[in-house]
Amino acid sequence: MNERNRSLKILDVLQFGFFLMLIGTIYIVTPNLPKEVSDFFRDFELNEAYPTVFLPAPKSNHPVLYNAASQFAFAFALFQTFVLLLEFLLMAPVNKKAETFSGIIFWFGLAASLNMLRDGGITWFIFLGFIIILAGATLVIRSLITLSAKITRQK
């Protein structure tokens, strides 16, 4: 394994470690988080999302939980931005950079949509729609970056 590949593997481990540390930090700084999570999952009921289509949704708003999740998503997006810079410095393959860039878009988008959900600006089903759109957008962005790099290399 060459030095660059070793550095990229270390970067992967660093990301996983940061992910775990961030979960622990959010757990520590958010009062009563286990109770908030428990209350959230106990609060679900079937609601009509579309005529004759019923899906589970929380009965009430859970701002403490949504805020904790938003803080997590925002912090992880910032860390992913740092990782992308390191990937450029380490000359990581384009698909690795594309994956990280699309991840940044996803995590920032998730943080924004969680903030809107927390503040009551959107409903649960609109939030779920945002998540689906974010997932699709990240796949498209990753594919476009990878494809454009392949086209550029062929010229």
Mean pLDDT of 93-113: 96
Mean pLDDT of the chain: 94
pTM equals 0.91
pLDDT digits (tens, 9 = 90+) for 117-152: 999 999 999 999 999 999 999 999 999 999 998 888
- The range of the structural domain enclosing residue 138 comes to 3-154
For the stretch 79-97, pLDDT in tens is 999 999 999 999 999 999 9
Count of alpha carbons within 13 Å of 101, Cβ hemisphere only?
Answer: 18
Using alpha carbons, list the distances in angstroms from residue 30 to 43, 53, 77, 125, 148.
20, 35, 19, 25, 42
Nearest-angstrom CA–CA distance, 68 and 76: 12
CA distance 125 to 130: 9
Is-contact 84 101, C-beta < 8 A? yes
H or E element: which one contains 13?
helix 3-29
Domain count of the fold of the chain: 1
Quickly state the pLDDT bin for 50 (edges 50, 70, 90). confident
